[in-house]
Structure 1
Amino acid sequence: MTLARIEARFKNLAETQRTALVGFLTTGDPSVEDSYQCAKALLEAGVDVLELGVPFSDPTADGPVIAAASYRAIQNGGSLKAALDVARRLRADFDAPIVLFTYYNPIVAFGEQALPGALVDAGVDAVLVVDLPPEEAPLLRQGLRERDLGVVPLLTPTSGSVREQAVLADARG
């Protein structure tokens, strides 16, 4: 499904004039199993999109709450692999879009070329890499596109129009 699942969800939201409710949690905080149970509860409660955060030891783009959750999660088995395992378990019972929220370093450690296939196998629809500019990681981006996976880019309040165009040209999902 991948991008089709995200596109269908946002089409439905537009048709019903609803704003998306996106739930986020850091995988592994307080434990990987608790993360699964919390994500399951979010989906049962009706979140439109679920973001599964991959804990990272240097979460410079996050505020103190998510950074603290990331540090705890690492101590409790949270990782990119754990997030994929949680997504796989959730996908068996839920059809809501799942977005993997991560930094680039865990992707490099996992393997850039291995990640797109692992995302598809786990039922993940898109990836949001907070510290990956659109000019970087062409092999990763190619692999994501080939598997019809979304790439959710970020813009800053100070991004100029030229930068916005470059970032949005790479956006999928």
Structure 2
Amino acid sequence: MDRIAEAFVRARREKRAAFVAYLCAGDPDFASSLAACRALIAAGIDVLELGVPFSDPLADGLTNQLAAQRALEGGMTSAKVFELVREIRKTSQVPIVFYTYYNLVFSNGVEAYVRAAKAAGVDGMLTLDLPPEEAGEMLTACKQHDVKTVFIVAPTTPTTRLPKIGAVATGFIYYVSREGVTGVRDQLATNIPEAVARIREHTNLPVVVGFGISTAQQVREVARHADGVVVGSALVNVIRDHLGNRGAMPAKLHGVAAKLVAGTVV
């Protein structure tokens, strides 16, 4: 069993949802980013979703756009993202999923990029702007190198497309609970139970829910219905708030993440 599958099986055995934590790789610099990732792992996250910094992150709201900008200005490159994964792997076997855009993969050569990701220790790839109909080369490379694929379902996704998405995903399905971009929201979307049930009719893979989840109570509500809960902006905001005191950031991030992780128990 691969690391992603193991994480969801373990969470299910412990009667909780898996907690998927998002950070932008290299935000605000390499050392701080590594410390942040280690703080999240120590807080008990189940899956680490690493955003690969990109100059035009269309699916991201302002919080994650600025995180990507900080990372790029701090000198982050594709090679350094792989290096970050290798450093994490020295002390942890937490599943790592790249949250990326296709141009970053395509411009480096799809097979070469996926091979390098696997060699570094990446378990899965979520390519935000790559629909299943155009993902043939990516799917072939991921199958060849045993990298799991993650695809998105949105509130606007027609039911007729769900079998196609379910057929190409091999890691988990990511349900975007709101239309629009990433970011903290005061209230959850109201149709999450129905949406998750609809997706499960077309896949046996875990279904995780993200976009707009930022408090332990929101995590708890989503965990009642989904196999996993994704939190990103609320964690990225901790990094933003400690740019002037980066040494204090890991402990604060650990505390925030631990409270969110506690909300996964159902």
Q: Fold conserved (TM > 0.5)?
A: yes
Offset at residue 116 of structure 1 (A): 1.9
Distance 1:151 1:79 in 2: 22
Offset at residue 93 of structure 1 (A): 1.0
SS of the residue corresponding to residue 119 of structure 1 reads helix
> Scaled by the length of structure 2, what TM-score is found?
0.62
Following superposition of structure 1 onto structure 2, how do residues 22-101 of structure 1 map, counting pairs within 5 Å? 22-101=20-99
Aligned partner (choices 104, 108, 115) of residue 117 of structure 1 = 115
Number of aligned residues:
171
Kindly report structure 1 stretches of 4+ aligned residues shifted beyond 4 Å. Answer: none
RMSD across aligned C-alpha pairs, in angstroms? 1.2
Partner of 2:126: 128
String of CA shifts for 1:45-69, please: whole Å, max 9, x gaps.
2111001110111111111100111
Q: Are the counterparts in 2 of residues 80 and 110 from structure 1 also a CA contact under 8 Å?
A: no
String of CA shifts for 1:90-117, please: whole Å, max 9, x gaps.
1121011011110111111222110121
Offset at residue 12 of structure 1 (A): 0.9
Q: Are the counterparts in 2 of residues 56 and 103 from structure 1 also a CA contact under 8 Å?
A: yes
Distance 2:160 2:117 in 1: 31
* Greater gyration radius: 2
Offset at residue 138 of structure 1 (A): 1.5
Q: Are the counterparts in 2 of residues 28 and 76 from structure 1 also a CA contact under 8 Å?
A: yes
SS of the residue corresponding to residue 114 of structure 1 reads helix
Offset at residue 153 of structure 1 (A): 0.3
Distance 2:128 2:142 in 1: 16
Partner of 2:187: none
* Structure 2: runs of 5+ lacking an equivalent: 172-266
Counterpart of 1:158, as a letter, is T
